Chain A
Amino acid sequence: MRFMPVVLWSDALVYLLMAAGISAALYVRRHEHLLLPWRRVGKNSVAMVCLLVLSCFLLVGLLDSLHYRAELGQGSYSPEVLSVFDRIAEPLRLHVEKTYSAPLAITLYAKESILDPDGRVVRDYPRLKYGGAGLSDIADRDADVARRVGTGALLGLLLGSLVLWMSKAERRAVAIALLLISALFGVTLQLSAAYHVLGTDKVGQDVLYLSLKSIRTGLIIGTVTTLVTLPLALFLGVAAGYFRGWVDDVIQYIYTVLSSIPSVLLIAAAVLMMQVTMDTHPDWFTTSASRADLRLVFLCLILGMTSWTGLCRLLRGETLKLREMEYIQAAQSFGVSSMRILSRHIVPNVMHIILISLVMDFSALVLAEAVLSYVGVGVDPSMISFGTMINAARLEMAREPVVWWSLASAFGFMLTLVLAANLFADSVRDAFDPRLNRS
């Protein structure tokens, strides 16, 4: 199959972040003193299990960030922008039912008038087009599900043991988590070949597919925002603390003004204005995907512009303390230039604050996305995200009988992601905070 690679704005930023992350990791590897706190993180079983879970999410997010447009023939390309993940999960994406169906169901969730074999109209639950399509009778379903769970778990465990053997992970908790995840992966793979594991939503889309697609949105909001926060907070915070005087006054004034506006309101105002700008310039985007994507990037930009103040304040305080240190005064008396003092002596010594605050902010941003999308100032309504899923699920909970699976899977995926991020952030903080250092 021929295809044309498409790099959306958010993809480019993700690649940039990946490159930055990898080069930072390589740099840290070569410096023992930088590696030391990470070794402490590595000794923490909880942190390593969380890292494993997070890397599974990250893998899905990265696969979902490689976009392309398939060739239709004779050099013309499909207007639909797909990702590598879409390609892998093609059955999930294309097996669209008519409307709601429960997890692992073989019929729709509501009765409809259907023609029975004799040509009479009866009210019954219609069979699904794809869910359990090979089964002749509902009674066979449980046996089939059990068989698939068994083979899936077995295959998953085999795969997990193989990975375990290759990676030589000696921690028991990590090994157990790895086996569990791979077993879960195997079971899901086996079941989703024939069923909708987490049911379908109102327009018949597979909820598992929607949940997996939401991961990328959440990860992008949580990480790309730091691309805006970090430079602003670092430059302004360090400059305010080091130069003091009018520089400090101006920077303090800016962040006091920004932080005195309740953040939801500021974000809402900025997003409303962004909507107006985007609506009056429809010529900026060629596809609907690029429109939704640009909105996501703008949202990250806005979140970043409104959330750098806290980190900036911390960095200013720390720099004020550092600049009175003997080694800085020594550098000053040797006539080292301010820029060099900042880059050689101040910035490396505030890095732990930056790292801690970045990992702590990540989960808050993932949670914020859902709230903002609910308020109507989040991602584009056509973009699959936890926020849009919850938003839709809200009406489903008021339905009779209740459609619970969309909400439950959004809940499950979000809780796993945020909990893992929170626990990992805690252990990073414990390892890097000099006040808590034991050795």
Chain B
Amino acid sequence: MIAYLVRRMLYAIPILVGVNLLTFSLFFVVNTPDDMARMQLGIKRVTVDAIRQWEHQKGYDKPLFYNRAEDGIGRITNTIFWQKSASMFWLDFGYSDDGRDISREIRTRMWPSLAIALPTFLVGLIFYISFALVMTLFRATKLDQAGVALCVVLMSVSSLFYIIGGQFVISKLWHLVPISGYAGGLNSFRFVVLPVVIGVISGIGSSSRWYRTIFLEEMGKDYVRTARAKGLSEIAVLFIHVLKNAMIPILTGVVVVIPLLFMGSLLTESFFGIPGLGSYTIDAINAQDFAIVRAMVFLGSLLYIAGLMLTDISYTVVDPRVRLS
């Protein structure tokens, strides 16, 4: 198990190097720091001095990969790649355009993100699976058909409409909870409810339908027939045998997103004014703060790879046949 995990971690390194090189070439080779400076300072009426000064301030006035002017190790380390891109491996994300430490921002902002994303994830998971189980129980009846039709309609609605509509009805018409905002501690409950409810509703369509497909596939297997033959009720078959056996395909899709919950959701957070990582990213995109976007891309893939490893571990927990070696 330990050996397997170490091997997986080693395997993750080339992928992260790939992500790092990709973002580096996207942000520094496709457009030179010169172009970015022009963009930030205004396209026209910008002097060469101003560009040089901007680059110096940001530390972009170095060679990309190899610095001939330096000696020894400095030839590698005193470059844009080393200081801006490779440094992300030791989680040093540098500074944003307004001079703040990005790592620090990430550490404070991930908690509000988690406060929204984790309840949405848990409530959603329970709700979708229950809904899918009910549809499977009543399969090939009018109820099942209606459920599937509802799912297709719900998944055809853009998530923007769920948020705008939900805010309008629940907060503006009924005045149940504040439209947006966030507060720490127990006070946060009022602010968390609406985003969580809307987040759960907007996922019903695609998720429930997907779980229903998984359950139906399991229903066709031999062990279900055996279970029925020994006289188990349909409910017992479904909730005990099918649910357990469907865990593997469910876990494949579910566990991988758990680490990404820290990143929050771009849309939800910006609509509800949650000071999390999602709204941080969206603000950075609008302000064209490339350092933050670069950091988020790297962090995102780091968490995704962690999610893949978690998925493998979770298999061993639910399925004794799976051994990691």
Contact = CB atoms under 8 A, between A and B. Distances in A.
A155 interface: no
Contact of A260 (B153, B159, B304): B304
Given A253-B14, A260-B301, A375 B39 contact: no
A277 interface: yes
B265 to A, nearest CB: 9
A261 B19 contact: yes
26 contacts: A256-B15, A258-B22, A260-B304, A261-B300, A261-B304, A265-B296, A265-B300, A269-B27, A273-B30, A273-B31, A276-B35, A279-B38, A279-B39, A279-B43, A282-B43, A371-B158, A371-B267, A375-B267, A375-B282, A376-B285, A377-B285, A393-B164, A411-B161, A415-B157, A422-B156, A426-B152
Interface in A244-288: 253-254, 256-258, 260-262, 264-266, 268-270, 272-273, 275-277, 279-280, 282
Interface string B1-25: 0000000000000110011001100
Given A266-B297, A277-B30, A280-B43, A375 B285 contact: yes
Contacts of B254: none
A39 to B, nearest CB: 23
A149 interface: no
Contact of B15 (A257, A371, A426): A257
Interface string B119-155: 0000000000000000000000000000000001101
A426 B158 CA distance: 18
| Majority DSSP secondary structure for residues of B touching A | helix
Interface in B282-299: 282, 285-286, 288, 290, 293-294, 296-297
Nearest to A367: B158
Nearest to A400: B172
B224 interface: no
4 residue pairs, one from A and one from B, having the closest CB atoms: A257-B18, A419-B156, A262-B300, A418-B156
A8 B36 CA distance: 28
A277 B35 contact: yes
B281 interface: yes
Given A265-B296, A273-B27, 17 more contacts: A256-B15, A260-B19, A261-B22, A261-B301, A269-B27, A269-B297, A272-B288, A276-B35, A280-B43, A374-B160, A375-B285, A376-B286, A390-B161, A407-B164, A414-B158, A419-B153, A423-B152
B293 A272 contact: yes
Contacts of A275: 39, 288
A397 interface: yes
Interface residues of B, number: 47
Contacts of B18: 253-254, 256-257
B219 interface: no
A238 interface: no
A261 B158 contact: no
A276 B36 contact: yes
B26 interface: yes
Given A253-B14, A273-B27, A390-B160, A260 B281 contact: no
B266 interface: yes
Contact of B281 (A265, A270, A374): A265
B48 to A, nearest CB: 15
Contacts of A419: 152-153, 156
B168 interface: yes
Contacts of B23: 269
Contacts of B266: 264, 375
Contact of A415 (B156, B260, B282, B286): B156
A262 B288 contact: no
A217 interface: no
A394 interface: yes
B116 interface: no
A197 interface: no
A181 B323 CA distance: 58
B305 interface: yes
B38 A280 contact: yes
A261 B299 CA distance: 9
Contacts of A258: 22
A212 interface: no
